Structure 1
Amino acid sequence: MQPPKKNSRKPAGKAATPRAYHHGDLRKALVDACVHLIEDKGLEAVSVREVAKLVGVSPAAPFRHFATRTALLTAVAEEAQERLGASIADTLRAAARETPLMQFRAIGVGFLQWSFANPTHFQVISSRSVIDYEGSRLRSSNDLIRVRMNELMCDAASQGLLRPGDIKRYQIAARAMVYGLARMYIDGQFPSWGLPVDDPLAESIRIFDLFIISISMAAEPDGEASKH
Structure 2
Amino acid sequence: MTVNGSRKRETYHHGSLREELVDACVRLIEAEGIGAVSLRRVAREAGVSPGAPYHHFPDRAALLSAISARGFELLTQELAVAVGPSTAAAGPDDVGRAVAAYVAFARRRPAHFQVMFRPELSEPEKHPAVQEAGDAALKVLTDLVDRLGVRDPHALGITLWALGHGLAALTLDGVLTQKAVMWDTDQDDLLERAVRQIGQTLDVRPSPASQAANSDGG
1:188-220 Cα deviation digits (max 9, x unpaired): 1113323677452x53242133222221339xx
| Aligned 8 A contact 1:74 1:136 in 2 | no
The structure with the largest alpha-carbon Rg is 2
1:67 aligns with 2:58: yes
Task: Give 1:97 deviation, angstroms.
Answer: 5.2
Q: What TM-score, normalized to structure 2?
A: 0.78
Which residue number in structure 2 is paired with residue 168 of structure 1?
154
- Counterparts of 1:65-214 in structure 2, within 5 Å, are 65-93=56-84, 99-134=90-125, 135-157=127-149, 162=150, 164=151, 166-194=152-180, 198-200=186-188, 202-214=189-201
Uncovered stretches (5+) of structure 2, i.e. residues with no partner: 207-218
| Aligned 8 A contact 2:176 2:187 in 1 | no
Cα distance in structure 1, aligned partners of 2:53 and 2:199:
46
Which residue number in structure 2 is paired with residue 42 of structure 1?
33
Give RMSD over aligned pairs: 2.5
Structure 1 pair 106/210, CA: closer, same or farther in 2 (3 Å)?
same
Q: Which has the higher helix share?
A: 2
Structure 1 pair 42/147, CA: closer, same or farther in 2 (3 Å)?
closer
Q: What TM-score, normalized to structure 1?
A: 0.75
Number of equivalences: 195
Cα distance in structure 2, aligned partners of 1:142 and 1:69:
20
1:19 aligns with 2:8: no
Uncovered stretches (5+) of structure 1, i.e. residues with no partner: 1-16, 219-228
Task: Give 1:49 deviation, angstroms.
Answer: 0.6
Cα distance in structure 2, aligned partners of 1:188 and 1:85:
25
Cα distance in structure 2, aligned partners of 1:126 and 1:196:
32
Cα distance in structure 2, aligned partners of 1:177 and 1:48:
35
Cα distance in structure 2, aligned partners of 1:33 and 1:168:
39
Superposed structure 1 runs of 4+ greater than 4 Å apart: 94-98, 195-199
Cα distance in structure 2, aligned partners of 1:172 and 1:205:
21
**1:208 maps to amino acid:** V
Structure 1 pair 209/98, CA: closer, same or farther in 2 (3 Å)?
farther
| Aligned 8 A contact 1:88 1:110 in 2 | yes
